[in-house]
Amino acid sequence: MSTHLRPEEIEAESFRLIEAEVGPHSWSFEEWQVVRRAIHTSADFEYSRNLFFSAAAVVRGVAALRRGLGIVTDTNMALAGINRVRRERFGNRISCFVADAQVARAAQAEGVTRSILAMRKGAADPANGIFVIGNAPTSLFELLRLVREENFKPALVVGLPVGFVGAAESKEALLALEDDYPGIPFITNRGRKGGSNVAAAVVNALLIMAEGG
Amino acid sequence: MSTHLRPEEIEAESFRLIEAEVGPHSWSFEEWQVVRRAIHTSADFEYSRNLFFSAAAVVRGVAALRRGLGIVTDTNMALAGINRVRRERFGNRISCFVADAQVARAAQAEGVTRSILAMRKGAADPANGIFVIGNAPTSLFELLRLVREENFKPALVVGLPVGFVGAAESKEALLALEDDYPGIPFITNRGRKGGSNVAAAVVNALLIMAEGG
């Protein structure tokens, strides 16, 4: 059956099924574009309830993509999952430094994890503005440290680390930015779920909106 | 807190938490190495119940990896998620042809999806034996067609497409191989869930066992 539908038709039908199953909800139109794509990529309806957007995060995230800011991810899986054609339309470079040779040497020398140093390297380049974390709580904690201690101002944080040790806590720490740093838009969720696939899906939803005009 | 633990310690602690939460189960020792890693990568305990292994699939999959057979994935995300260092230890090449220029041209010319042609290209190379599908039901349907119609014999199929149109059906079709083609080991799950991240986690669990002796 599915082999007779074109990919766009499969996606449209998937979104119809997701909307029917979620039913009435209180997401804004823009937020819903992101939420439904997170469900689409995971078949996990918990994302219809556990996601969180800081004020106007979608609109501000879309604007950041349109400005061509660089994207930094914490995993090569998230990097691979962000649509290249869409991203290149706005000139957004993408980088993941976790397997970077310089980062690996410094991690060895300093006894600091590569996840931490990879974020630091990404944040050091002013051309980067969009930080996408789908795996490592330590990456997100480091990004938050840069914000609080070193006056770092990302244009968007997609913070969706997954797991059993530190993931939920790192996202609670991100949620605390809302009051302290209202200038930093972010998209995250509560709890242990998340992942590089969901983080990439969030960025892809924003890229599609960015194209939309 | 998590920042004070080394990555291996975080993983061990995660597995302890997963084991405690799953409680008694009927997976074999080898299957459990795979199941717990699928949960670890998704924080989704449905994988403690929905995964399925054909007879001795883990042992046979590990043997296929040790023989250095090539791995073919349906997405670059699954490709990126499979541990490179571990894979290279056994000489397993990895390929994903979905963005391949030749596949794209042929898809255009023949009016067939790239997912289908990408699988066909992977299967055409006898050095490839391990097929990892985390996204496209059409890729899995095509692989099953090659098995049934063209006498293709993969050494392992990891079939975990995700989604709302065709994913569950494609996995039911894979499950039907069990009786008809007992010579083809496979790992899959029932239902709509799955994904490139979970498919990669399954292969990583096998690679770790392959190293283990």
Q: Render pLDDT for B172-212 as a digit per residue (tens, 0 to 9).
A: 999 999 999 999 999 999 999 999 999 999 999 999 999 98
Q: Which domain holds residue B82?
A: 51-212
Best interface-test mutation with A: which of B74, B197, B203 has the largest number of A CBs within 10 A? B197
Residue of A nearest to B163 (CA): A43
Question: What is the pLDDT at residue B55?
Answer: 97
Distance from C-alpha of B17 to C-alpha of A213, rounded to nearest angstrom: 46
**Is residue B67 one of the residues assigned to a domain?**
yes
Mean residue pLDDT across chain A: 96
**Is residue B10 one of the residues assigned to a domain?**
no
Q: Is B25 a catalytic residue?
A: no
Task: Name every chain B residue with its beta carbon within 8 A of the beta carbon of A162.
Answer: 41-43
Distance from C-alpha of B187 to C-alpha of A10, rounded to nearest angstrom: 25
Q: Which residues contact A9 (CB under 8 A, 6 or more apart)?
A: none
B176/A contact by beta carbon, under 8 A: no
**Is residue A30 one of the residues assigned to a domain?**
no
Span B2-25, average pLDDT: 89
Question: What is the pLDDT at residue B8?
Answer: 87
Residue of B nearest to A17 (CA): B164
Q: State pTM to two decimals.
A: 0.96
The secondary structure element, H or E, covering residue A188 is strand A186-189
**Is residue B17 one of the residues assigned to a domain?**
no
**Is residue A23 one of the residues assigned to a domain?**
no
Distance from C-alpha of B83 to C-alpha of A119, rounded to nearest angstrom: 20
Mean residue pLDDT across chain B: 96
Straight-line distance from the first to the last Cα atom of chain B, in angstroms, rounded to the nearest whole number: 34
Task: Name every chain A residue with its beta carbon within 8 A of the beta carbon of B167.
Answer: 43
A145/B contact by beta carbon, under 8 A: no
B111/A contact by beta carbon, under 8 A: no
Span B15-31, average pLDDT: 98
Nearest Cβ partner for B164 among A7, A14, A113 = A14
**What is the interface size between A and B, counted as CB pairs within 8 Å?**
125
CATH number of the domain within which A199 lies: 3.40.50.10230
**Is residue B100 one of the residues assigned to a domain?**
yes
Distance from C-alpha of A123 to C-alpha of A81, rounded to nearest angstrom: 21
* Yes or no, beta carbons of B194 and A5 under 8 Å apart: no
**Is residue B43 one of the residues assigned to a domain?**
no
Question: What is the pLDDT at residue B138?
Answer: 96
* Yes or no, beta carbons of B166 and A13 under 8 Å apart: no
* Yes or no, beta carbons of B196 and A195 under 8 Å apart: no
* Yes or no, beta carbons of B165 and A196 under 8 Å apart: no
pLDDT (tens digit per residue) in A75-129? 999 999 999 999 999 999 999 999 999 999 999 999 999 999 999 999 999 999 9
**Is residue A140 one of the residues assigned to a domain?**
yes
Question: What is the pLDDT at residue B177?
Answer: 97
Number of domains chain B contains: 1
